[in-house]
Amino acid sequence: MGRWLLSIAAVGNAVLQWVDDYNSTHIFNPAFTAHAKFHDGITISLATILGGLALIYLWRPGYGPERLAVGALFAGVWWTGAACAFLFPGASHRDAQFAADVPHLFGMPIDLRTIVPAMIAVVALGYLLERRRLRTIPRSAPLPPP
């Protein structure tokens, strides 16, 4: 269960960033400067790369406690950075001109004030559950599937 929770967070890294930013409110916003679009490209790329790396570390052969730790780090670092972004002066997760144009995923609005802390909690819970599961397996035994 823990590894699956971490995988959900990792996929969320990649997918939600594309949904939230690759649209008229960000990349295709004519009011955005080229430099702002560059930063958005970094954000989308980094989220996708971190999500992919998390999945590689969590599911490739040779999985164990060390790979769990690295996979959880990759799954959680983007969400932690997103949480820190709220602390910057004048920062907001949504521009006022697009307040009504909120991206939706599966019919639900994407609100980072809710999603970010929830995903940090998912990563923490996933890591703790999976770490506990791995500790119950004898060291000499091959790891069973989750």
76 CB-side CA count, 13 A: 19
Residue 121 confidence class, pLDDT cut points 50, 70, 90: very high
Each residue of 71-111: pLDDT tens digit?
A: 999 999 999 999 999 999 988 887 777 777 777 777 777 77
142: pLDDT strictly greater than 90: no
- Can you tell me the distance from the alpha carbon of 133 to that of 51, in angstroms, rounded to the nearest whole number? 22
How many beta carbons lie within 10 A of that of residue 79, not counting itself? 25
The average pLDDT across 23-38 equals: 92
pTM (predicted TM-score): 0.83
